[in-house]
Structure 1
Amino acid sequence: MRFPVTLLLSFFIGYVAFAQSVQKPKLMVTPLNERVYVHTTYGLYQNEAVPSNGLIIKTDDGVVLVDTGWDTDSVADNTQQILQWVKDNLHQPVRLCIATHAHGDRVGGTGALRKARVRVVSTPLTAKNSVKEGYPAPEGILPSDTTFTIGGEPIRCYFPGEGHTRDNIVVYLPNQQILHGGCLVKSVAAFGMGFLGDANLSEWGNTIRNVKTQFGKARIIVPGHEEWSDVKSLDHTLKLIDNYLATKK
């Protein structure tokens, strides 16, 4: 079937206008206290700009990031913005980035961080899965439960079980009582489960209960997307899981 040139031109102009209308907001950085900040970058999911949260941790020996910006390996402008913000506002080098699982909103900026001479670490499974997803592999050195200290700030990396992915970990700051739940934990503002392509729905609820047992003292829990709150986000995640599974029966 042949289409008139004017129709094809109208379609092309309309597509370009739509693509231009879906623009990603710039980096947002929100302080939780004097040492911990949330970095929020944006990616496109189902033709919508979606916020993605990670942490910036200020220590006495430089900055630790939890998760990169939401990037592709070829375009890492979000992660570059994070590095620039740290340079301009904290005046410290970024020493390390902890990747919490192998999706683009967590490891997409790995290449950019390496070019900036920033180590990116993860569990061995996340490193392996990152390559499968088309990203450079972080250093797969993290065991399933470990606590290390940088610049006087203890940081605990913990694998609570499968959920959003097989490799999702959480990161806890005991001195600050702040937990980065990543995409394992849903925001209280979330109405759905989001991307489930790599999820283990049968174990997700048990994994969240494990997080509640381990980190019930957390004052703030930062989810992978949208707004953060206290431990209510864990109960909200359980409700979303139960509701989703009920619709599949």
Structure 2
Amino acid sequence: MRILLLLSLFVLFQHLTLAQSVQKPKLTVTPLNDQVYVHTTYGLYRGTPVGSNGLIVKTKDGVVLIDTGWDTDTNTDNTRDIVQWVADNLHQPIRLCIVTHAHEDRVGGIHELRKAGIRVVSTPLTAQKSVKLGYESPDGILPNDTTFTIGQEPIRCYFAGEGHTSDNIVVWLPNQKILHGGCLVKSVAAFGMGNLADANLNAWAGTIQNVMKQFGDARIVVPGHEEWGDKKSLEHTLTLLKKHAAAKK
């Protein structure tokens, strides 16, 4: 019994040491053009650092964020770094943040933004789900399809259907022909479907097809994770869904 106890303590010590040694990369910001940037922050998924993509949109009347950094209710360093980057590099106030669904890589930094006086908005369903997960509620004011303009930059928020979650929306910048697909869209670099805990696998392919119909002229598509590129990521998402379905048979 004593040997088993010692072995258990040894394994626990190794596990804690490994967890402490995992270092998440810091914020990176990558320009898509002179107005739109991708902010990439990192969280741990199954013990491995994974990057999460959102957008920073510069307008004539301030900055709009698409999604917070990947944070938790106890650590909002990633979102704080995004706010600081905007202040240091764009020298404009952040007017608004749009969150695209209620997972911590999208809504985890709401508290940090609220502290900075920045309004955070979402659909009503995302607001409800955020509270259930223990995060502050964004203002659930967005209809399922709405376009508004900030600083002469039109922004369309669109719910194409369920997929990664029941509340995932995409954000379209028509002037830029840039689509933020969020976690509904898989990068061409992805080999699997990722987190399916809240997914609707039966609806996902139809939702992607709706996105393709609405935003077929997109020049750049930014997925929630990994590399971004053109519309090939939409086709790739359909391919991954087919492979996943075939593997389940």
Report TM bin, short chain: over 0.9
**1:5 Cα deviation (Å)?**
8.1
Q: Distance in 2 between matches of 1:114 and 1:142?
A: 18
Q: Partner of 1:166 in structure 2?
A: 166
Gaps of 5+ in 2: none
Q: Secondary structure at the match of 1:203?
A: helix
Query: What is the one-letter code of the residue matched to 2:243?
Result: N
Q: Secondary structure at the match of 1:23?
A: coil
Change (3 A) 1:8 1:246: closer
- Post-superposition Cα deviations, 1:62-102, rounded to whole Å, max 9, x if no partner, equal 10000000000221000000000001000111110000000
Q: Partner of 1:246 in structure 2?
A: 246
Q: Distance in 2 between matches of 1:135 and 1:93?
A: 24
Q: Secondary structure at the match of 2:199?
A: coil
Q: Partner of 2:178 in structure 1?
A: 178
Q: Partner of 2:222 in structure 1?
A: 222
Query: What is the one-letter code of the residue matched to 2:24?
Result: K
**1:11 Cα deviation (Å)?**
3.7
Q: Distance in 2 between matches of 1:236 and 1:87?
A: 36
Q: Distance in 2 between matches of 1:7 and 1:191?
A: 36
Matches within 5 A, 1:81-92: 81-92=81-92
Q: Partner of 2:120 in structure 1?
A: 120
Q: Distance in 2 between matches of 1:61 and 1:39?
A: 20
Q: Distance in 2 between matches of 1:38 and 1:159?
A: 21
Q: Say whether residues 1:111 and 2:116 are aligned partners.
A: no
Q: Secondary structure at the match of 2:24?
A: coil
Q: Say whether residues 1:68 and 2:68 are aligned partners.
A: yes
Which of 232-241 and 15-24 deviates more? Answer: 15-24
**1:20 Cα deviation (Å)?**
2.7
Q: Partner of 1:142 in structure 2?
A: 142
Q: Say whether residues 1:80 and 2:80 are aligned partners.
A: yes
**1:226 Cα deviation (Å)?**
0.3
Q: Distance in 1 between matches of 2:236 and 2:35?
A: 27
- Post-superposition Cα deviations, 1:150-178, rounded to whole Å, max 9, x if no partner, equal 01110000000000000000000000000
**1:2 Cα deviation (Å)?**
3.1
Query: What is the one-letter code of the residue matched to 2:153?
Result: E
**1:13 Cα deviation (Å)?**
4.3
* TM-score, with length taken from structure 2: 0.97
Query: What is the one-letter code of the residue matched to 1:221?
Result: V
Change (3 A) 1:201 1:7: closer
Q: Distance in 1 between matches of 2:160 and 2:186?
A: 15
**1:215 Cα deviation (Å)?**
0.2
> Which aligned runs of 4 or more in structure 1 are off by greater than 2 angstroms?
1-17
Q: Partner of 1:193 in structure 2?
A: 193
Query: What is the one-letter code of the residue matched to 1:2?
Result: R
Q: Distance in 2 between matches of 1:230 and 1:15?
A: 40
Q: Secondary structure at the match of 2:2?
A: coil
- Post-superposition Cα deviations, 1:88-118, rounded to whole Å, max 9, x if no partner, equal 0001111100000000000000011001100
Query: What is the one-letter code of the residue matched to 1:117?
Result: G
Q: Partner of 2:36 in structure 1?
A: 36
Query: What is the one-letter code of the residue matched to 1:17?
Result: T
* TM-score, with length taken from structure 1: 0.97
Q: Distance in 2 between matches of 1:10 and 1:170?
A: 47
Change (3 A) 1:206 1:5: closer
Q: Secondary structure at the match of 1:236?
A: helix
Gaps of 5+ in 1: none
